[in-house]
């Protein structure tokens, strides 16, 4: 079964940087998909699932137009509970992070600017938790 990592951020420069770092860290182990908002992110998840691809991790920005990251990750969790959910933020308040922890089984919150070491550790730990289930 093919496996994927999905990133969602409305700022293309952040999405490009995030994607480049993740692809450099994991090479051709996974498929990588990107979305610029929550609605597009959900479409990507649904399409991958229909194609038989297992989405392992989703990294989502918090502050996006239309739907905040905590609300989006709760929606993702309700539909795809097995995906490891990571929130990326420069400005999420603690209540939003706690909301995602309580209602979306948030695995980690990464504050911008992040380091590639931080990103690698969180994604690898998240994936290893899936493997243990």
Q: How many CB atoms lie within 10 A of CB 80?
A: 17
Which CATH number covers residue 73? 3.40.50.2300
Tell me how far apart the alpha carbons of residues 86 and 61 are, in angstroms, rounded to a whole number. Answer: 9
If you average pLDDT over every residue of the chain, what do you get? Answer: 95
Percent of the chain surpassing pLDDT 70: 99
* Residue 76 near residue 45, CB atoms below 8 Å: yes
- Predicted confidence at residue 96, as pLDDT, reads 92
pLDDT tens readout for residues 36-80: 999 999 999 999 999 999 999 999 999 999 999 999 999 999 999
- Across the range 16-20, mean pLDDT stands at 96
- Sheet containing 106-111: order of strands: 31-35, 3-8, 54-61, 84-89, 106-111
- Predicted confidence at residue 133, as pLDDT, reads 59
Indicate whether 97 pLDDT > 70: yes
How would residue 17 be classed by pLDDT, with cut points 50, 70 and 90? very high
Domain that holds residue 50: 3-132
Considering its fold, how many domains does the chain have in total? 1
Only one residue has tokens 């194609």, namely: 51
- Across the range 95-111, mean pLDDT stands at 96
How would residue 25 be classed by pLDDT, with cut points 50, 70 and 90? very high
- Predicted confidence at residue 49, as pLDDT, reads 97
Tell me how far apart the alpha carbons of residues 102 and 108 are, in angstroms, rounded to a whole number. Answer: 12
Residue 67 in tokens: 């739907």
- Predicted confidence at residue 130, as pLDDT, reads 85
How would residue 132 be classed by pLDDT, with cut points 50, 70 and 90? confident
Residue 65 in tokens: 């137009």
Which residues of the chain form beta strands (DSSP E)? Answer: 3-8, 31-35, 54-61, 84-89, 106-111
């Amino acid at each position: 079964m093919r496996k994927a990592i999905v990133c969602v951020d409305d700022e293309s420069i952040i999405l490009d940087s995030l994607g480049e770092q993740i692809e450099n860290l994991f090479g051709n182990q996974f498929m990588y998909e990107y979305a610029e908002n929550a609605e597009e992110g959900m479409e990507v998840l649904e399409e991958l699932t229909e194609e038989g691809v297992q989405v392992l991790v989703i990294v989502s920005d918090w502050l996006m137009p239309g739907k905040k990251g905590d609300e989006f990750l709760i929606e993702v969790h309700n539909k795809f509970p097995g995906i490891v959910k990571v929130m990326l933020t420069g400005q999420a308040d603690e209540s939003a992070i706690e909301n995602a922890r309580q209602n979306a089984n948030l695995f980690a919150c990464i504050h911008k600017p992040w380091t590639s070491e931080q990103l690698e550790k969180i994604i690898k730990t998240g994936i290893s938790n899936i493997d243990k289930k």
